[in-house]
Amino acid sequence: MVEKFIEEFAKLIANEPHKIRVEKEQLDEKFIQIIIFAGNNDAGKLIGKDGKMIGSIKTLISGCKAKDGNSYKVIVKSSD
């Protein structure tokens, strides 16, 4: 659920939405890492100036913790 939301949100922000790919990795019983793969320019766009965009995404996702009890870590990587 969370990874699908992040993928759709990232595609709305990206200049090249076809390059956006999101992977979910279960690190622990209650800890999930979500990796967003994007092109070089889009990775910068997703992180934002001073990390404000990725901070906003993380804030939105923290609301999901209240619902499912999992903690989430979000990482943006360049796929180029």
Instruction: Give the CATH fold of the 2-78 domain.
Output: GMP Synthetase; Chain A, domain 3 (3.30.300)
**How sure is the predictor about 68, in pLDDT bands with cuts at 50, 70 and 90?**
confident
Q: Is 26 exposed, middle or buried (0-12, 13-18, 19+ CB in 10 A)?
A: exposed
Distance CA 30, CA 70 (A): 5
Statement: residue 67 has pLDDT above 80 = no
What angle separates helix 52-68 from helix 2-13, to the nearest 10 degrees? 160
Domain boundaries, the chain: 2-78
pTM for this predicted structure: 0.86
Q: Using the predicted structure, report yes or no on whether residue 11 has a pLDDT greater than 90.
A: yes
Express each pLDDT in 24-65 by its tens digit: 999 988 899 999 999 988 999 999 899 899 998 888 888 777
Closest CA to 42 of 7, 1, 3, 4: 7
Mean pLDDT of 7-14: 92
